[in-house]
Amino acid sequence: MQLAIAGDLHGQWDLSDHSLLELLAPDALLVVGDLSDGQPRIPALLRQLELPVACILGNHDTAKDPSGRTLQRQIEALGPLHCGWGLRQLPGVAVIGARPGSAGGGYHLSKACQAALGPVSLEDSVARMVAAAAAADPALPLVLLAHSGPAGLGSQAADICGRDWKAPACDWGDQDLTQAIDRIRRERPLPLVVFGHMHHRLKRGAFERCSFVIDRAGTAYLNAACVPRHLVDDAGVALRHFSWVELDGAGLVSAAHRWYGLDGRLRYQETLYSRALVPC
């Protein structure tokens, strides 16, 4: 099972991505949110893809509309692709959606999220994720798809969910996601948690954050937020970024950040994990 993962889009998604995915032929596409500040174009394009897709919405998808109407329109436009607080069972993998619209920082529902989704408590948010995992086919590998990652993975600016845009640096992960992960793992393995929100390039200095961690329980955490994900390299080649993972019945096989040319050629790769390279 090979999964392509699109980090925070911020408007950078077009038909060239569709053509590239046709060449690469992953088994499914996961999208971590922040599509386009509430514009309808990208949800419509994602619905046109022929491969299976699961998508969560991020804080930018509210378009700072406190009425919640913009967020609700995004959810409706995505239709079954949106898996916030729910189960999206794809061929070969079960995807559980975390809290939609998260901006990180513990637990906070924006006015837009409250208006569109209701006054959901931290405990209710955890219970929804746990219930979705319980409904998943136990024969399928489980992936938890979030916009912001969980709390507890470090408090430095360069940590996978560290706050880098405001001093002092601190852990900016979601508390409900942390609790849900703990409760889900009491019942079944959780090999992979995928998210974005905290961009790889740090705000201060020419540095990048850690984007991949495996905890003591064996769960891998992948931050896919390479922004911008449409680039041109020094040779003038147009590039598209996807994080790429392979899963099998035993869990995670490999994980990488990949930059492809529009012709489908792999131009650059940052290997994050390979089971074949882990000492026995």
Q: Name the residue range of residue 75's domain.
A: 2-277
Q: What 3-state DSSP class applies to 15?
A: helix
Instruction: Compute φ and ψ for 137, nearest 5 degrees.
Output: -60, 120
Assess whether the previous peptide bond of 228 is cis (omega < 30° from 0). Answer: yes
Q: State how many domains the chain has.
A: 1
In the chain, which stretches have pLDDT less than 70? 205, 279-280
Q: Token match 């975390």: residue?
A: 98
Q: How many CA atoms lie within 13 A of 107 on its CB side?
A: 16
User: Beta strands 220-223 and 192-195: pairing type?
Assistant: parallel
- CA–CA gap between residue 194 and residue 53 (Å, rounded): 14
| Helix or strand run (H / E) with residue 22 | helix 15-24
Task: Determine the distance from the C-alpha atom of residue 41 to the mean position of all C-alpha atoms in its chain, rounded to a whole number.
Answer: 20
What tens digit of pLDDT does each residue of 13-67 get?
Answer: 999 999 999 999 999 999 999 999 999 999 999 999 999 999 999 999 999 999 9
Residues in the chain: 280
What tens digit of pLDDT does each residue of 147-172 get?
Answer: 999 999 999 999 999 999 998 999 99
Exposed, middle or buried: residue 20 (CB in 10 Å: 0-12, 13-18, 19+)? middle
The CATH number assigned to the domain holding 76 equals 3.60.21.10
Question: Would the pTM count as exceeding 0.85?
Answer: yes
Instruction: Please name which of 7, 28, 23, 17 lies closest in space to residue 264, comparing C-alpha atoms.
Output: 23
Evaluate whether 111 touches 119 at the Cβ level (below 8 Å): no
